[in-house]
Copies of this chain bind each other. A is one copy, B any other.
Amino acid sequence: MVTMNDVAKRAGVSIATVSFVLSGAKPISAATRERVETAMRELGYRRNPVGAALARGRTNIIALLYPALQRPATGSVMGFFTSAAARAQELGRNLVLWPISNDAGEAAALANTGLVDGVLLMEVQLEDARVEALRPGTTPFALIGRTRDTAGLTFVDVDFEASMSEAVAALDGLGHRRIAFVTGNWGDLHLEDHGAAERSRACFRTEMARRGVRKPLIVPCAENSLDGRRLGRTLITEHPELTALVVMNEHAAPGIVMGLRDAGRRVPDDVSIISIGSSANMAGMADPPLSFMRTPGEELGRLGVDAIIERIENAGAEPPAVLLACEMQPGATLVRVRPGD
């Protein structure tokens, strides 16, 4: 491995000078800079980030912490990751996806070792032990998602309340009142711990109550098409009065449509469906293609990186907090309720 020393020797300067050329921290005469750069080129020198990290206390690496070992990841994580990585690169940082157990200690351990400049936490729960473990440390962190109490925390999250309100309003505008809400079933987590689940359920209840429905139907479903199909069948059989479904479970949604059809209901003629928090590709897996509200995953990826970098560079400032609603996309599963229904 070529070191700074090699470069310095070859250029006939001190390693301090080489370092200054590299970092631009001090003015260097054009002549010496030229000599140093030539030496670097000839030797194929690359700065060793480990040495630099030890000396500077910074690595330029941001870790996107994902509890992959507990919750095998879905495709939406990748969209997020991709845009976050691109944004980090634009800003001269490295963003890596770091699998981690949900064990609070592990996150704090990684953060406080100096291996990374900051961390982004995914799959945040309402009461999240990792957040409590990171708080006392000095390494900046930001959440993708939110805990219940967000005071003093940096986060970017989907605005589930706004999305849900818009979805219910859309159905309401088409005359639907008998609406069920199908949520996800977030792995081993207790549903109550999952922010997206709890916030959207609460909002669904509120919106329905405002429209005179006191105890609206809310059912969880595992996140895959087969369970979706099963659920679609039983749900409509047990609750034949339903005219519409709000689904927040993109992987189950296409199966649900099949299940309804299995049970003799047509979509959307008999039952309208709106899928909240979906990708276009998943919505297109259903027949007919689902009317859906797009998860702003890519936007959040970018914003999450901006937020953590802001935190790293400007620790004193007000912590950024961003909420972004899903955006309604056209589809073929939303129609006016039939008169008489």
Contacts and interface: CB of A to CB of B under 8 A. Distances in A.
Interface residues of A, number: 51
B50 A69 contact: no
Contacts of A86: 68-69, 99
Interface in A47-90: 47-51, 53-54, 59, 63, 68-69, 72-75, 77-79, 81-82, 85-86, 89
A72 B77 contact: no
Given A78-B78, A226-B280, 19 more contacts: A1-B114, A46-B113, A48-B113, A50-B54, A50-B59, A54-B54, A68-B78, A68-B82, A69-B86, A73-B75, A73-B79, A74-B75, A81-B99, A82-B99, A89-B99, A96-B99, A97-B99, A255-B285, A261-B287
A215 to B, nearest CB: 32
A251 interface: yes
Contact of A82 (B73, B261, B281): B73
Contact of A287 (B59, B69, B79, B287): B287
Contacts of A54: 50-51, 54
A216 interface: no
A280 B223 CA distance: 12
A95 interface: yes
A268 interface: no
Contacts of A258: 287
Interface of A: 1, 46-51, 53-54, 59, 63, 68-69, 72-75, 77-79, 81-82, 85-86, 89, 94-99, 109, 112-115, 224-226, 229, 251, 254-255, 258, 261, 280-281, 284-285, 287, 289
A284 B226 CA distance: 6
A284 B225 contact: yes
Given A72-B82, A254-B254, A284-B255, A49 B224 contact: no
B98 A94 contact: yes
Contacts of A280: 224, 226
B82 A50 contact: no
A43 to B, nearest CB: 13
Among the interface residues A113, A258, A285, A289, which one has the most CB atoms of the partner chain B within 10 A? A285
